């Protein structure tokens, strides 16, 4: 009898445990957390990464010497060698791949239609993936590409050459534009508000920029891609990132200056702009209190903290560091300079001087300069009046590209203009960096492929190793 009772109790306990486990699995779910994410939410998050990962480029703005550090000058003296790209892969690129997967999978594509037509969502995600992969390869060179974004299926992706990546990005951008259909525009899009024609122009403009990047290593291929992209339609107005007057999406320069004053316009830029009477100088920077005019901070010096704040000029308020001051993703000035360069190279039949002057005028408009007399005097100055050289085009593009650090760094590396000298007191070598070193996590966790990537670079993972297109 006792054995029967014990066996019955054990059987009951097992049954109860099984039921409780089943119930526990059912109830142990947080009802406030979603089990799936709408593609529109993923797109919004991805677009915000333009602000965080592209327009937030203080290090490269220092490399091209439009700004200088006022207290701790280590970055402008090249102390940093290794930079992390892991967050780009696990963050924005993974989100964009998820948009593609949701709209491609027959089990989820119908539900995804709430965020726009499947084809349009996939096309936008492909365009943005190309945009961010371009940012990555132009900083590091060979990077994981064809084997990337596979999650747990491949934690150790191999690296592709930069040439391979560029060739595929050209293809992706063209195919994405052709994929856009007449269905509903994408939701969650605070840049173009779902206007698919504007997405086409954005993709074409990225492609035109890439074409100029390869102008020295593959001029015929660059010309073909540039003319095709231009004929398909480039952006025709300033494309600005819309910051808001609230802390969750504020201009990064505003945020930096809430508690610190670590960046100022450099003496390199200020001293170049002043002799020509460039009316943008007073917009780019505020007057130095002790002087009543814009004074640049000496660039790349060790004793930066010895110079009083009252003797230097900080980025202009509100145009540069207002809380909701927009910053350019692509400016019309930038595109006009691209046309001027292409015409100078003989790629297109446009008038070089006309494009050059249109680029400067577009920059004046972008920065709110309206004094016609001041603009006319500036345009007539001997250093500004068109002299038919690539150096002048690229130097004026450098002036107009204030705050666009990554673009300025790419232009300087591929053309050598403007002419810049290294930091006065460098910490790692004596040259201005031409690439970023890989994150140390790749050396430690993906060593075999890391070593192969170093081989693609010629044997050195350093700041002075030029990229494929840097000739």
Question: Which residues make beta-bridge pairs with 68?
Answer: 264
Give the whole-angstrom CA distance, residue 297 versus residue 265: 6
Report how far residue 139's alpha carbon sits from residue 134's, in angstroms, rounded to the nearest whole number: 9
Q: Which of 157, 95, 161, 163 is nearest to 441 (CA)?
A: 157
Which of these, 154, 132, 156, 85, lies nearest to 439 by C-alpha position? 85
Q: Categorize the per-residue pLDDT at 215 as very low, low, confident or very high, splitting at 50, 70 and 90.
A: very high
Whether residue 336 lies inside any domain: the answer is no
Both structure tokens of 229: 């992209």
At residue 195's C-alpha, the angle toward residues 190 and 198, to 5°, is 95
| pLDDT for 193 | 98
Q: Per the structure block, which two tokens stand in for 361?
A: 């005028």
Do residues 296 and 238 both lie within one domain? no
> Residue 26: pLDDT above 50?
no
Q: Could you give the C-alpha distances from 203 to 167, 172, 173, 189, 230, in angstroms and in order? A: 15, 10, 6, 15, 11
Total tally of structural domains belonging to the chain: 2
User: Same domain for 265 and 208?
Assistant: no
Asked whether the predicted pLDDT for residue 219 surpasses 70, the reply is yes
DSSP structure string for 272-337 = HHGGGT-TTHHHHBPPBTTTTB--PBPTT-TTGGGS-GGGS-PBPTTTTT-TT--EEEE-HHHHHH
Same domain? 86 vs 124: yes
Token code pair at residue 368: 């709110």
pLDDT band at 28 (very low <50, low <70, confident <90, very high): very low
Q: Lowest mean pLDDT: which of 15-19, 189-193, 345-349?
A: 15-19
Answer yes or no: is 170 within a domain.
yes
Q: Is residue 370 part of a domain?
A: no
Number of H helices, E strands in the chain: 20, 6
Among residues 311, 340, 362, the one where a domain terminates is: 311
User: Is the confidence at residue 429, as pLDDT, over 90?
Assistant: no
Whole-number pLDDT of residue 25: 42
User: Parallel, antiparallel, or unpaired for β 239-241 and 143-144?
Assistant: unpaired
Burial 444-459 (b: 16+ CB within 10 A, else e): eebeebbeebbebbee
Residue 62 lies in a domain: yes
Q: Which of 18-32, 63-77, 128-142, 316-330 has the lowest mean pLDDT?
A: 18-32
- 227-269 residue pLDDT tens: 999 999 999 999 999 999 999 999 999 999 999 999 999 999 9
Claim to verify: residue 45 and residue 112 sit in the same structural domain: yes
pLDDT band at residue 428 under the 50/70/90 scheme: confident
**Residue 295: predicted pLDDT:** 98
Mean pLDDT over 159-188 rounds to: 98
Q: Are residues 162 and 282 in the same domain?
A: no
Is the same domain home to 191 and 96?
yes
Please report, for the domain that includes residue 220, its CATH number: 1.25.40.390
Sequence-distant (≥ 6) Cβ neighbours of residue 199 within 8 angstroms: 123, 124, 127, 180, 186, 192
Kindly state whether residues 211 and 304 are assigned to the same domain. no
The answer to the question of residue 397 being in a domain is: no
Is the same domain home to 155 and 219? yes
**190 in a structural domain:** yes
Same domain for 282 and 232: no
329 domain-assigned: no
In sequence order, what are the beta bridge partners of 159? 144
Q: How do residues 386-412 score in pLDDT, each as one tens digit?
A: 999 999 999 999 999 999 999 999 999
Rounded CA-CA distance 121/100 in Å is 7
Q: Judge whether 416 lies within some domain.
A: no
- Rounded to the nearest angstrom, the gap between the alpha carbon of residue 215 and the centroid of all alpha carbons in its chain is 20
The mean-pLDDT minimum among 25-34, 324-333, 338-347, 449-458 falls in 25-34
Residues 119 and 148 in one domain: yes
Dig out the tokens for 162 from the structure: 């930069």
- Output the pLDDT for position 27: 44
Out of 311, 341, 362, a domain closes at 311
Residue 279 near residue 364 (C-beta atoms within 8 A): yes
| Residues 57 and 191 occupy one common structural domain | yes
Q: What is the pLDDT of residues 98-127, one digit of tens each?
A: 999 999 999 999 999 999 999 999 999 999
Beta bridge partner(s), residue 240: 328
**Of 311, 338, 360, which residue sits at a domain end?**
311
- In percent, how much of the chain has pLDDT > 70? 93
Residues 49 and 123 in one domain: yes
Domain encompassing residue 281: 248-311
């Amino acid at each position: 009898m006792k054995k029967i009772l014990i066996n019955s109790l054990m059987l009951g306990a097992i049954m109860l445990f099984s039921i409780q486990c089943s119930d526990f699995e059912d109830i142990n779910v947080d009802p406030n957390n979603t089990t799936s994410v709408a593609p529109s939410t993923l797109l919004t998050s991805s677009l915000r990464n333009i602000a965080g990962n592209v327009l937030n480029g203080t290090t490269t703005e220092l490399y091209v010497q439009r700004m200088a550090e006022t207290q701790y000058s280590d970055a402008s003296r090249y102390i940093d060698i290794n930079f992390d790209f892991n967050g780009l892969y696990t963050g924005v690129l993974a989100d964009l791949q998820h948009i593609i997967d949701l709209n491609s999978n027959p089990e989820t594509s119908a539900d995804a239609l709430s965020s726009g037509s499947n084809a349009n969502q996939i096309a936008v995600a492909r365009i943005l993936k190309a945009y961010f992969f371009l940012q990555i390869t132009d900083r590091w060179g060979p990077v994981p590409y064809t084997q990337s974004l596979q999650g747990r299926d491949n934690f150790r992706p191999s690296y592709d050459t930069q040439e391979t990546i560029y060739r595929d990005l050209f293809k992706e951008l063209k195919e994405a534009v052709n994929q856009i259909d007449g269905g509903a525009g994408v939701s969650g899009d605070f840049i173009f508000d779902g206007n698919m024609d504007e997405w086409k122009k954005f993709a074409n403009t990225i492609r035109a920029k890439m074409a100029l990047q390869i102008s020295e290593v593959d001029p015929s291929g660059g010309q073909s891609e540039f003319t095709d992209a231009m004929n398909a339609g480039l952006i025709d107005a300033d494309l600005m990132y819309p910051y808001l007057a609230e802390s969750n999406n504020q201009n990064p320069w505003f945020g930096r200056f809430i508690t610190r004053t670590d960046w100022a316009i450099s003496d390199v830029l200020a001293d170049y702009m002043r002799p020509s009477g460039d009316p943008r100088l007073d917009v780019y920077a505020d007057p130095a209190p002790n002087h009543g005019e814009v004074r640049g901070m000496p660039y790349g010096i060790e004793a930066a903290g010895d110079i009083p704040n009252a003797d230097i000029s900080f980025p202009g308020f509100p145009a540069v560091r207002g809380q909701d001051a927009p910053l350019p993703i692509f400016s019309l000035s930038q595109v006009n300079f691209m046309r001027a360069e292409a015409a100078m190279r003989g790629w297109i039949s446009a008038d070089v001087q006309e494009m050059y002057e249109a680029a400067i005028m577009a920059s004046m408009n972008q920065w709110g300069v309206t004094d016609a007399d001041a603009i006319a005097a500036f345009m007539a100055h001997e250093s500004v009046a068109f002299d038919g050289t690539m150096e002048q085009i690229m130097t004026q593009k450098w002036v107009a590209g204030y705050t666009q650090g990554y673009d300025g760094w790419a232009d300087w590396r591929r053309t050598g203009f403007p002419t810049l000298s290294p930091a006065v007191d460098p910490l790692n070598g004596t040259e201005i960096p031409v690439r970023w070193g890989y994150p140390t996590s790749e050396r430690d966790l993906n060593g075999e492929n890391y070593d192969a990537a170093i081989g693609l670079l010629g044997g050195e993972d350093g700041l002075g190793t030029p990229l494929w297109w840097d000739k």
